[in-house]
Amino acid sequence: DQQVKQNSPSLSVQEGRISILNCDYTNSMFDYFLWYKKYPAEGPTFLISISSIKDKNEDGRFTVFLNKSAKHLSLHIVPSQPGDSAVYFCAASGMAGGTSYGKLTFGQGTILTVHP
């Protein structure tokens, strides 16, 4: 039972355009969502997060949108740069104070390629 799903294994975008990576979840107990970027042979690098009480969070070129009713979140990267080429993982955590707090459930990842 995959509770966090990234249905697009890969995405190819032209430099300067917008990259949109999508993520769906099924567990309504998830309360906090994070996006990570991962290069081969390195650990995941934290990008941006969002709490379930918000529907949008922005940090520079990265914006995460959360649609709680649809159990869907997306990461927008604008403008995309060749250095953004990596695997992107979304992850979800349970509520603060709960037994699953801090325990991340990851999606399968989306390989983003940004062409010059």
Q: Is 94 in the site for another protein (CB under 8 A)?
A: no
| Closer residue to another protein, CB minimum distance, 80 or 109 | 109
Site size toward another protein, by CB under 8 A: 20
Helix (H), strand (E) counts: the chain = 0, 11
Helices (H), 4-110: none
Least Cβ distance, residue 98 to another protein (angstroms): 13
| Region 22-41 residues binding another protein, contact defined as CB under 8 A | 34, 36, 41
Could you give the CA distance from residue 23 to residue 74 in angstroms, rounded to a whole number?
Answer: 6
Could you give the CA distance from residue 32 to residue 104 in angstroms, rounded to a whole number?
Answer: 9
79: exposed, middle or buried (Cβ count in 10 Å: 0-12, 13-18, 19+): middle
Mask 46-65, x = binds another protein (CB under 8 A)? x--x----------------
The binding site for another protein (CB under 8 A) comprises 34, 36, 41-46, 49, 89, 91, 93, 102-109
